[in-house]
A and B are shown apart, each in its own frame.
Chain A
Amino acid sequence: DAKTTQPTSMDCAEGRAANLPCNHSTISGNEYVYWYRQIHSQGPQYIIHGLKNNETNEMASLIITEDRKSSTLILPHATLRDTAVYYCIVRGGQGAQKLVFGQGTRLTINP
């Protein structure tokens, strides 16, 4: 699976949009981009995933560049409860099984 690179930490003000970048320059055509987050001492929580097109759900938006070498997770109106470690993961296509976690970005939402 392709490796991902994320900033170690980020800060964002409450109520503002949080934009978390992820580089995955070695991604191949059938690999998906997944985003999970982990709040302290809990299991990871699914946020969103995509292949080529931008995606949006009730939690966030995922913007994938046209060359697919990077993506951005957008939390449109960050709250204090969004403080967590955010993981960007690239997983292979059909038949690929495991999710391999990188170091993630520690996002702190400030009041």
Chain B
Amino acid sequence: GAVVSQHPSRVICKSGTSVKIECRSLDFQATTMFWYRQFPKQSLMLMATSNEGSKATYEQGVEKDKFLINHASLTLSTLTVTSAHPEDSSFYICSARDYAGPFGGYTFGSGTRLTVV
């Protein structure tokens, strides 16, 4: 079945630096990917929809200049957290949609735990 690989699984960075998270579809082409954020004991919150070759669509309240999304190929989307601060510490999860997949195609990565110190 469809597999989505997310890297890194864990990252610790200093406040003020930027961190890049990669999301890859391994065995299918994903024209659409999604980025979520999840705080402890809370549900997943959709941050943005990433479309290959075009600008991402951000959800209300998500700062597009802080969370830069690039979807330059059909198998890779990246999320860059710029000038990270401790309040950006969270679990970030990507999802890719395989339109040809057997279940509507939404497959999730294993997540990236970001800690900003």
Contacts and interface: CB of A to CB of B under 8 A. Distances in A.
Contacts of B93: 43-44
Contacts, number: 51
B46 A41 contact: no
A51 B44 CA distance: 23
Interface of A: 32, 34, 36, 38, 41-46, 48-49, 87, 91, 97-104
Contacts of A45: 108
Contact of A41 (B104, B106, B113): B113
Name the interface size band of chain B. Answer: 20 to 34
Classify the interface of chain A: helix, strand, loop or mixed. loop
A102 B43 contact: yes
Interface of B: 4, 6, 32, 34, 36, 43-46, 49, 91, 93, 95, 97, 103-104, 106-111, 113
Nearest to B113: A41
9 contacts: A32-B104, A34-B104, A41-B111, A42-B111, A43-B6, A43-B111, A91-B104, A97-B49, A98-B34
